[in-house]
Chain A
Amino acid sequence: MTPLPPSEVEPHPWRGLAWLTRRECHRVLKLWKQTILAPVIAALLFMVVFGLSLGNSITEINGFEYSVYIVPGLIAMAMAQAAYSNNSSTIFQARNDRYLDDILSAPMSAWQVHLGYLVGGAMRSLAIGGALTALALPLTGVPISHPVELIVAVLLLTTAFCALGVIVGVYAQSWDNQSFINNIVILPLIFLGGVFYSVSRLGSPWEQISHFNPLFYVVDAVRFGFLGASDVAPLVSLSVVGVITLLLLAWSQYLFSTGHRLKP
């Protein structure tokens, strides 16, 4: 076959962004049992097991049955973990196997590459959140009291954990590093952030200490969106989550803009 001469076509960076986003979604859907089904089943088991086992002994929290009260926190936890683990693993794998080079050398700007990876993780996180919400509504009767605040909280939560995943994926030296952050940092902080209880029940000083846990505000903001009940004012929790999101986004964008640890 005779090769064609060089093309004079101008670069289309927006198309590059669209294709990178598509590639990330393609990866999520190709591994759907692992990326979507497993986290949904795990969160459902939490709802059923904890709701049934503790539901009889804890009558209600803030006016809600225990099986209903834990739903928003469990959905937030599943979404946060999915966003984080998706982006940390996809970036680390691309770095480790060096196929990231094909993207870094392509005519796309740093923010477009960054955004492409963020959207992939967000798609996975939102798919899990949507599936869990659809299942939890008939199972537990959880209400959606403030849909606008819920959407804002979920978007901030997803973006923050996608950016955190990018950061860890860029710095990680091994698979152990990224699972370490998930198991030793994110999961305990989410549990201690009031997924299964209201921190107002802890009493002083643990209630005050809980307010230094950033993930408490993530859980509380999502809970307000669902139940209309929260431990702090929704404006406070959304503001804290917003600031955290901006800081993490700025950090992950810095990594792509400078090539720090992505390029030797």
Chain B
Amino acid sequence: MTPDLASRSPAALGIKGLTKRYGDGTLAVENLDLEVPAGSFFGLLGPNGAGKTTLIGAVCNLIRITSGEVSVFGNSATSMKARRMIGIAEQEPNLDKFLTVYETLLYHGGYYGMDQAEADERAGQMIDAFDLSDKRDVEAPKLSGGMRRRLLLARALLHRPNLVILDEPTAGVDLELRHELWSYIRKLHEQGTTILLTTHYLEEAESLCDEIALISGGRIIARDSAEGLKRSHGAETLEQVYLKTVAGGRIGLAAEAERQARSRDMDPMDLGDEPE
């Protein structure tokens, strides 16, 4: 998107003063402000429990926020119009166990307002795009982990949302599928779709995202391009920035030393493999 167009468009995601305190008293997010420009590929990085999933839940109408405002392309996040514009692939596979792959996509299209013919056509397109043809009539619980992940992404993208939220989309996914998925998501972004990505794979975030926000303790603690973050924190890698900021420097040196020792005989993509 050109800077001129971006400056005139409402933000894809606007969050003002978002606070969420859960019933048990846990303050997950406190007075958080965030603006994701339309057309951007935006990364949200942070440790487990930092507030990423809470923030996504607030955007997608999946949690009851304590206070604040959330808007999607200028519309309140709770409005029908905003909800129509969002597609979400959640971290944990949450697929309807009574539906096949085809039915999962068909019904999702229906929930998002498509008629039978439109939903059927889109379901077929997504089955082809995500190489799910062989599993078309298989029920979700019988799919492998990788196939479930494909189906989650296909479902998120089926209604052609303007803002796609990917919450750890490649966790537990093999390298080949990860590259396929990112290739598709990149093309989607080039077509004008705004992407909000959370991931533990820092290399992914660095190579994909125009801008990255680091979140910790329910607050945004840094935000810039990957290069900008490295420059402003005097770091060589995004991982060093992450450890300095998110971990407050307390475990930074120890973790970096451990990482270097491990990286001699481990795939660097294994970083952050712990479950959320």
On A, residues with C-beta under 8 Å from B are 1-7, 9-13, 15-16, 18-20, 22-23, 26-27, 30-31, 93-94, 97-99, 101-109, 258-259, 263-264
Let me know if B107 is at the binding interface, CB within 8 A.
yes
The answer on a CB contact under 8 Å between B160 and A5 is yes
Let me know if B243 is at the binding interface, CB within 8 A.
no
The answer on a CB contact under 8 Å between B111 and A16 is yes
Q: How far is the CA of A1 from the CA of B184 in the complex (A)?
A: 8
Distance in Å: Cβ of A262 to nearest Cβ of chain B: 9
CB-defined contacts of A23 to chain B, threshold 8 Å: 96, 99, 107, 110
CB-defined contacts of A1 to chain B, threshold 8 Å: 125, 128-129, 184
Residue of B nearest to A109 (CB): B80
The answer on a CB contact under 8 Å between B188 and A108 is no
Let me know if B115 is at the binding interface, CB within 8 A.
yes
Q: How far is the CA of A98 from the CA of B111 in the complex (A)?
A: 16
Distance in Å: Cβ of B113 to nearest Cβ of chain A: 3
Q: How far is the CA of A132 from the CA of B129 in the complex (A)?
A: 48
The answer on a CB contact under 8 Å between B112 and A106 is yes
List 28 A–B pairs whose Cβ atoms lie within 8 Å, in order of A's numbering.
A1-B125, A1-B184, A5-B191, A6-B160, A6-B161, A6-B193, A9-B84, A10-B113, A11-B84, A20-B110, A23-B96, A23-B110, A30-B98, A98-B90, A99-B94, A99-B97, A101-B94, A102-B111, A103-B111, A104-B62, A105-B60, A106-B108, A107-B83, A108-B80, A258-B64, A264-B22, A264-B23, A264-B63
The answer, among B83, B103, B108, B129, for a CB contact under 8 Å with A11, is: B83
CB-defined contacts of A9 to chain B, threshold 8 Å: 84, 113-114, 160
Let me know if B123 is at the binding interface, CB within 8 A.
no
The answer on a CB contact under 8 Å between B84 and A105 is no
Q: Which of B96, B103, B157, B193 has the most CB of A within 10 A?
A: B96
The answer on a CB contact under 8 Å between B63 and A263 is yes
The answer on a CB contact under 8 Å between A13 and B80 is yes
Distance in Å: Cβ of B115 to nearest Cβ of chain A: 7
The answer on a CB contact under 8 Å between B92 and A107 is no
Q: Which of A6, A16, A258, A263 has the most CB of B within 10 A?
A: A6
Let me know if B250 is at the binding interface, CB within 8 A.
no
Q: Which of A27, A97, A264 has the most CB of B within 10 A?
A: A264
CB-defined contacts of B80 to chain A, threshold 8 Å: 11, 13, 107-109
The answer on a CB contact under 8 Å between A97 and B97 is yes
Q: Which of B56-106 contact A (CB under 8 A)?
A: 57, 60-64, 80-81, 83-86, 88, 90, 92, 94-99, 103
- Since A12-B113, A101-B60, A109-B80 are in contact, a sample of 11 more A-B pairs with Cβ atoms closer than 8 Å, ordered by chain A residue number, is A1-B184, A6-B160, A10-B81, A12-B114, A16-B111, A22-B110, A97-B94, A99-B94, A101-B62, A105-B61, A263-B63
The answer on a CB contact under 8 Å between B157 and A3 is yes
The answer on a CB contact under 8 Å between A16 and B187 is no
What sequence of 0s and 1s flags, for each residue 198-236 of chain B, a beta carbon within 8 Å of any chain A beta carbon?
000000000000000000000000000000000000000
The answer on a CB contact under 8 Å between A93 and B83 is no
Residue of A nearest to B141 (CB): A97
The answer on a CB contact under 8 Å between A27 and B160 is no
CB-defined contacts of A12 to chain B, threshold 8 Å: 113-114
Distance in Å: Cβ of B188 to nearest Cβ of chain A: 4
What are the nearest 8 A-B pairs in CB distance?
A19-B110, A12-B113, A7-B160, A98-B94, A106-B111, A11-B84, A6-B162, A5-B191
Let me know if B159 is at the binding interface, CB within 8 A.
yes
Distance in Å: Cβ of A187 to nearest Cβ of chain B: 26
The answer, among B97, B111, B113, B129, for a CB contact under 8 Å with A93, is: B97
